[in-house]
Chains A and B, each alone.
Chain A
Amino acid sequence: MSVEIVSAGPMLSVQDKGRTGLRHLGVSTAGPIDAARMALANALCGNPVGAAALEFAGPAGGFRAKRPVRFSVTSGGCDIRIDGRLVAANESHRLRPGETLAIGVPQGAVWGYIAFSGGIAIPETLGSRSTHLRSGLGGVDGRALRAGDILPLGEDDEDAPCLRPESPLRAVVRRDGPVRVVLGPQNDYFAPEIVERLTEEEFTITPQRDRMAMVLGGVQLPSQRGHDIVSDGTVPGSIQVPGSGLPLVLLAESQTTGGYPKIATIISADLARLAQMPVGAKVRFSIVTRDEGEEILLADRRNMRALLAGLVAKPEGLLRSEYLLSCDLVGGIFAPEEIVQVASSQDGGTLR
């Protein structure tokens, strides 16, 4: 069982829960930039939330499977087509042999996720399948995927239903309000009025971004004690300030140690929201205490668990509007529920 990459966008890579426990050896976590969206993509396919899936930015590409699989795409309002027929994001669908799945550019988001039922079953490197592009580790030869790559899939129950969230999906990540930070560890390198600038002014998302970090523009944060520290540990969310004064936010693929002072750290619950902002977007920061940040993280995890626990089977006999719109309905339909009944009765047990 495998998935073939028919065409690949420039930033299509295998990611899973990431590599933990190796930061003291210089190996960063890698893993998804937006773990919540990837967890949802996996759960919609019946996979464990940390299973290996695909992450993309820009167009994702085209995909074919040798046997029937279920897949889901989580990324804003992405254009997703099976042999040209539009299907919805944030729910799973069946992809049959011979059909081509084409996935376009995320709309209103930067990073998107594609999960396949069974999960991508390439061999693990240092305990994870995640690709670390900078050091060429994990994934497929440590690189972004290319047309012609064949990705093996894990065990899958072909009779399992396609899933969707119980109620219409509210944003998996919060969409409004300032991005919250905890000050430190080197906020004392900055004069009080510069720390105030962090929350009083508006920063801009610049095009200088990848899986490692994103550079913010619009506001400079000069340090009164210089921009070199004796290198120490970093985490995803660290806001480093190099000599340019323009803050640099570290993401999943960041280096494990760094020599620039870190004015603050973005809280875990808000980091993906920042990373999903398009180039040119404006962002404001607000300060919370470490204790508040922890409470927000715990609440965020509870919400995520509730969302994932509330996934329900899609009534596969029910013809969805996009399907009906794609059909050549000769003679028209004036009683669509009749078609639904016929289709449902043929479908039997999947209506759970």
Chain B
Amino acid sequence: MTATDQPNPATRTTMNPTILPCGDSALVLQIGETIDADANARIIALNAELEARAIPGVEEIVPTYRSLLVRYDPEIVRGADLEVLLLDAFAHQADTRDAGRLWTVPCLYGGEVGQDLDELAAMKKLTTQEVIALHSGAEYRIYMIGFAPGFAYLGGLPDILHTPRLLKPRQNIPAGAIGIGGQQGNINSVGGPSGWRFLGWTPLRTFDPARAEPFLFRAGDRVRFRAIGADEAQELAARSSAGETIIQPEPSGERA
């Protein structure tokens, strides 16, 4: 775990929120302009507070790294009034730090999907085993789910593994690919093009619209990776494609 990627329960920094308009039906409440675990924890706590308040006219709430987007229906609540309600919720949100659920994600390192593993090791002057140990030794925070259905943005990647994206994105990266983009890690939820570098693949389906619970992760959860072999990957993949949820999280706890 790095010092910056999990909220520090000892500090409760004062963060001044800014409210920005996002057209005629959405507002953004923002704290800071950088990736910061404390700011992210405040955003996720505010999300919970707003869900609990169930403000009429609020249609969707999207927590991201350091801001929260609220879509509203101006026929029910006007933006000017909603700004006041948002600032009040921010000032009075419950003073809790939910540590998030901890997921242990099986990962088959290398192979066809983890095509960049060896090259990354060479770039970093490490052995392949050292890269695997670094990647699977860290605990990651899911800062947000975004871009595509169930796509998890992970913070907590060890500094030495920070690597720029490819200049030219590849066209077909499969679901389950586990990679690195800049300072972030990810777990691909759906197949598609990507300029990230990929170290491995998980048979876990983080998004499966046919499953009773289509989405596994939510923002604020924590993730660890567990290296698995090809046989176990194949067995888990079979259970996964049968619609089974192959891992269970450790429950979240209050940290404050």
Bin chain A's interface residue count: 35 or more
What B residues does A293 contact at CB under 8 A?
A: 23-24
CB of B20 within 8 A of CB of A135, answer no
A144 to B215, CA, bound (A): 24
Does A41 have its Cβ within 8 Å of any Cβ on chain B? no
What B residues does A265 contact at CB under 8 A?
A: 21-24, 26
CB distance from A226 to the nearest CB of B (A): 11
What B residues does A23 contact at CB under 8 A?
A: 60, 62, 69, 71
CB of B148 within 8 A of CB of A230, answer no
**Of A21, A125, A185, most B-chain CB atoms within 10 Å:** A185
What B residues does A234 contact at CB under 8 A?
A: 69
CB of A298 within 8 A of CB of B75, answer yes
What A residues does B59 contact at CB under 8 A?
A: 20-21
What A residues does B21 contact at CB under 8 A?
A: 182-185, 265, 290
A71 to B192, CA, bound (A): 36
Give the number of A-B contacts (CB < 8 Å): 145
User: Which stretch (A7-15, A24-32, A104-112, A150-158) binds chain B?
Assistant: A24-32
A137 to B62, CA, bound (A): 20
8 A Cβ contacts from A231-262 to B: 231-235, 237-238, 255-258, 262
Does B64 have its Cβ within 8 Å of any Cβ on chain A? yes
What A residues does B66 contact at CB under 8 A?
A: 230, 232
Bin chain B's interface residue count: 35 or more
CB distance from A233 to the nearest CB of B (A): 3
A229 to B149, CA, bound (A): 21
CB of B209 within 8 A of CB of A24, answer no
CB of A26 within 8 A of CB of B149, answer yes
Contact A25 B23, CB 8 Å, known A230-B34, A233-B69: no
Does A309 have its Cβ within 8 Å of any Cβ on chain B? no
Contact A298 B33, CB 8 Å, known A233-B28, A235-B22, A291-B80: no
User: Which stretch (B128-136, B139-147, B230-238, B242-250) binds chain A?
Assistant: B139-147
Across the interface, name the chain B residue whose C-beta is closest to A237: B23
CB of A182 within 8 A of CB of B61, answer no
A297 to B214, CA, bound (A): 34
What B residues does A296 contact at CB under 8 A?
A: 24
CB of B78 within 8 A of CB of A294, answer yes
A232 to B215, CA, bound (A): 20
Does A67 have its Cβ within 8 Å of any Cβ on chain B? no
Does B190 have its Cβ within 8 Å of any Cβ on chain A? yes
CB of A231 within 8 A of CB of B74, answer no
8 A Cβ contacts from A211-235 to B: 229-235
CB of B23 within 8 A of CB of A231, answer no
Does B67 have its Cβ within 8 Å of any Cβ on chain A? yes
CB of A238 within 8 A of CB of B22, answer yes
Q: Which of A21, A125, A185 contacts B60 (CB 8 A)?
A: A21
Contact A298 B74, CB 8 Å, known A24-B145, A185-B21, A230-B35: yes
What A residues does B65 contact at CB under 8 A?
A: 230-232
What A residues does B25 contact at CB under 8 A?
A: 235, 268, 294, 297
CB distance from B178 to the nearest CB of A (A): 17
A85 to B111, CA, bound (A): 59
Does A49 have its Cβ within 8 Å of any Cβ on chain B? no
Across the interface, name the chain B residue whose C-beta is closest to A266: B23
8 A Cβ contacts from B143-169 to A: 144-151, 153
Contact A235 B71, CB 8 Å, known A184-B22, A185-B22, A290-B21: yes
CB of A24 within 8 A of CB of B61, answer yes
Does B63 have its Cβ within 8 Å of any Cβ on chain A? yes
Does B110 have its Cβ within 8 Å of any Cβ on chain A? no
CB distance from B60 to the nearest CB of A (A): 5
Does B117 have its Cβ within 8 Å of any Cβ on chain A? no
CB of B144 within 8 A of CB of A257, answer yes
Q: Which of A22, A184, A257, A297 contacts B147 (CB 8 A)?
A: A257
CB of A294 within 8 A of CB of B60, answer no
CB distance from A225 to the nearest CB of B (A): 9
Does A136 have its Cβ within 8 Å of any Cβ on chain B? yes
Does B79 have its Cβ within 8 Å of any Cβ on chain A? yes
30 examples of A-B residue contacts, CB within 8 angstroms: A21-B59, A23-B60, A24-B218, A25-B215, A26-B207, A126-B214, A137-B149, A184-B20, A185-B20, A185-B21, A230-B34, A230-B66, A231-B144, A232-B30, A232-B65, A232-B66, A233-B26, A233-B68, A235-B23, A235-B25, A237-B23, A257-B147, A262-B22, A267-B23, A268-B24, A269-B24, A290-B23, A291-B78, A294-B25, A294-B74
> A24-B47, A24-B145 known; 7 other A-B pairs, CB under 8 Å?
A26-B148, A182-B23, A229-B33, A238-B23, A268-B23, A269-B24, A294-B25
